[in-house]
Structure formats: structure tokens, C-alpha cells
């Protein structure tokens, strides 16, 4: 069973444009990480993670733009703030995961796998709660 775009947008609370940005950044990151892992290019893990960090910054910027437009168009502050906080929480958890993963791969800190995955576990809990609320 595949999820429709409409279901994914409802469950994650992000727009299809943001999903597209994440897909493109993960594709570029995949190529860079393989090149880094195979030592075909001389780069650090931080440089390989750059497309993902740029995507997080663009998503945060896009969330702020959507907040301003929602407030301006509808005039009601509450739904705009709820969407802003939920979207920024999503972006922040992904950003923290990427930071921890890049620190683990570059061996800056000795971090266990469970510490690296903790933001994703929280994110999955949030998605699970949203999925139950939608239906």
C-alpha cells in the first residue's frame, strides 16, 4: 500500500514543495556520501551533509513565509502559529538528527547510535499522533 501525496502532506504537516526539496537534497547527499565513503573526492562529512543543511534552512525560511501569509490572509493568529511551531519542530528535529549523524561519522564526538536516532524517534511519535488525529 502506497500513501498518496495528500495523506503524506496531512501526516507530516509539510507542503509538497518542502517534500520535493527534501527529495532533491537527499538525492544530492546520496551521491556525495558515496563519493566520500569510497574516497573518490577529498571532502569532510560536514561538506557531504551540506545539501541537507541547506534544505533545512530553506524549509525554515519557507515555514516563516507560510506563517506570514496565513496570518495576513486569514487574520487569525492561532492556526498560523500552530502550523509554524509544528513545521519548525519537524525541521528542528531533522536538523538535530543530521548534526548528530555528521558528528558521529566524522568522529568529532563518541556518540551512540541511540543518541543519534533519538530525534527521529521523537519525530516518529509526532507523526504517529498526527496520523491518529487526521482520521
Domain total for the chain?
Answer: 1
Sign of the dihedral through C-alpha 82, 88, 91, 96: negative
Establish if 8 belongs to a structural domain.
no
The pTM is what?
A: 0.87
Establish if 107 belongs to a structural domain.
yes
Establish if 7 belongs to a structural domain.
no
What is the rounded distance in angstroms from the CA atom of residue 68 to the CA atom of residue 75?
A: 10
Establish if 32 belongs to a structural domain.
yes
- For residue 135, name the pLDDT band (cuts at 50, 70, 90): low
Across 13-31, average pLDDT: 92
Range of the domain at 56: 14-134
Establish if 9 belongs to a structural domain.
no
- For residue 120, name the pLDDT band (cuts at 50, 70, 90): very high
* Percent residues over pLDDT 70 in the chain: 98
Residues 100/115, Cβ–Cβ less than 8 Å: yes
Residues 103/111, Cβ–Cβ less than 8 Å: yes
Half-sphere exposure of 119 (CA within 13 A, CB side): 14
Amino acid at each position: 500500500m502506497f500513501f498518496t501525496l495528500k495523506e503524506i502532506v496531512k501526516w507530516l504537516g509539510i507542503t509538497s514543495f518542502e517534500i520535493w526539496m527534501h527529495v532533491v537534497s537527499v538525492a544530492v547527499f546520496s551521491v556525495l556520501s558515496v563519493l566520500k565513503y569510497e574516497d573518490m573526492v577529498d571532502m569532510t562529512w560536514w561538506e557531504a551533509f551540506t545539501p541537507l543543511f541547506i534544505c533545512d534552512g530553506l524549509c525554515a525560511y519557507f515555514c516563516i513565509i507560510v506563517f506570514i501569509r496565513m496570518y495576513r490572509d486569514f487574520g487569525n493568529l492561532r492556526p498560523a502559529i500552530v502550523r509554524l511551531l509544528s513545521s519548525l519542530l519537524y525541521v528542528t528535529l531533522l536538523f538535530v538528527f543530521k548534526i548528530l549523524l555528521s558528528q558521529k561519522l566524522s568522529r568529532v564526538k563518541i556518540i551512540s547510535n541511540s543518541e543519534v536516532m533519538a530525534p527521529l524517534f521523537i519525530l516518529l511519535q509526532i507523526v504517529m499522533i498526527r496520523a491518529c488525529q487526521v482520521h
